[in-house]
Amino acid sequence: MNFVFISPQFPRTYWNFCDRLRKNGVNVLGIGDTPYDALQPELKGALTEYYRLDTLEDYDQMLRALGFFTFKYGKIDWIESNNEYWLEQDARLRTDFHVTTGVQADEVGRFKSKSGMKAYYKEANVPTARCHKVTTIEAAKTFLAEVGYPVIVKPDVGVGATDTWRLDGEQDLENFFANLPKASYVMEEFIEGDICSYDAITDAECAPLFESMTVWPPSIMDIVLEQRDLAYYVAADMPEPLRRLGRATVKAFGAKSRFVHMEFFRLTKARKGLGEVGDFVGLEVNMRPAGGYTPDMMNYAHSTDVYQIWADMVSANRRLLPESGDDHYCVYASQRDCFDYQHSHQEILEKYGNRIVMCERMPEMNVAQMGNQMYTAHAATLEETEEFIRFVTERK
């Protein structure tokens, strides 16, 4: 089997995907824009060959790279990046090279457009916030007369909280339209709730081989814009309502043979037409693993290896690793260099000792979302999880 992994060096933990494929006997071929000598040793050891490009944005260069691998190794069986930014290009390359093991160019739109997702949520009987495609201020006011302030405005196609704003009144609305971005935008009613993601690895029939829940702060947007401290956790188990809605969403979107990250609101305030406190409401789907070190946190929380489960899905379309039965919490909390905290780096290490499973400085490109210094730890209970977050993030 020939597997082409696009940009295998980013995020840096993605060498694990390549490593497990290689251990399964898969021929792993990498395409990236990082010089070969700068690749991690673990990644170098997992790749059969690496094709370096000046930029992955140049589709002609991508075609030449795939053509070279096809000439040298034969037909390509898989093309994947597991990266939101490259999903559309991945799909286009699959279509052009007749690779049928993933999303095709004419299908990828349903995974990228926030407004387009609504129809698939409806098919899955998953409630979602009311949404309006931004056109004119008059049309926006008509929508606001229905849902009221506040509302969220965000790119119809976008990643994370980039270029996302909350509008709290008429002045915010006028300011937004006075500087209306050129990209297509959507306006969505504001929902009060925690964000809980249904994370899964699915087989070729959309059946889950692995499932996990991660609980995120209510607004990544506020973390970025207001420089709040990021803290989130992978839970020991998953509520059955989320499991049911997650599986239905996977089937409605046809999310087969993938690592998926599907976000839901868990309402902290009842919303007419959507549900009561504690009910789940669909937010958006992402056809890639959760960001940052979350896959590694899943491993720690569930005593498993999601990279191996994913590789077994690719090579055997089934799960070969047994369930461990040893599930607990894994929690992430971070600090920013620009603030003073009650507890120092050394105090955190002394208090939590071997319960800390990851501790490192974050790359500069991730600081806005994830902070400068991160700490990730085991926790036996939700109470211990919340106490860890308080201890790390409490400011002076």
Q: Name the band, by pLDDT with cuts 50, 70 and 90, for residue 162.
A: low
Q: What residue type is assigned to position 281 of the chain?
A: V
Average pLDDT of every residue of the chain: 94
Q: Name the band, by pLDDT with cuts 50, 70 and 90, for residue 221.
A: low
Q: Give the residues across from 335 on adjacent strands.
A: 373
CA dist., res. 381 & res. 43, Å (int): 35
CA dist., res. 81 & res. 17, Å (int): 10
Q: What is the pLDDT of residue 111?
A: 79
Q: Assess whether pLDDT exceeds 60 at residue 161.
A: no
The arithmetic mean of pLDDT across residues 58-82, rounded, is 98
Q: Give the residues across from 2 on adjacent strands.
A: 27
- What tens digit of pLDDT does each residue of 225-283 get? 778 899 999 999 999 999 999 999 999 999 999 999 999 999 999 998 899 999 999 99
DSSP-based three-state secondary structure for 348: helix
Percent of the chain with pLDDT over 90: 87
pTM (global) more than 0.85: yes
Smallest Cα–Cα separation from 90: which of 111, 70, 108? Answer: 108
Rg (CA), the chain: 21
Q: What is the pLDDT of residue 396?
A: 94
> What CA–CA distances, in Å, run from 330 to 10, 70, 101, 297, 355?
23, 42, 32, 6, 10
Q: Name the band, by pLDDT with cuts 50, 70 and 90, for residue 160.
A: low
CA dist., res. 381 & res. 119, Å (int): 38
Q: Are 66 and 3 in contact (CB under 8 A)?
A: no
> What CA–CA distances, in Å, run from 373 to 337, 339, 341, 362, 370?
8, 12, 12, 6, 8
CA dist., res. 299 & res. 308, Å (int): 10
- What tens digit of pLDDT does each residue of 109-118 get? 887 888 889 9
Q: Give the residues across from 206 on adjacent strands.
A: none
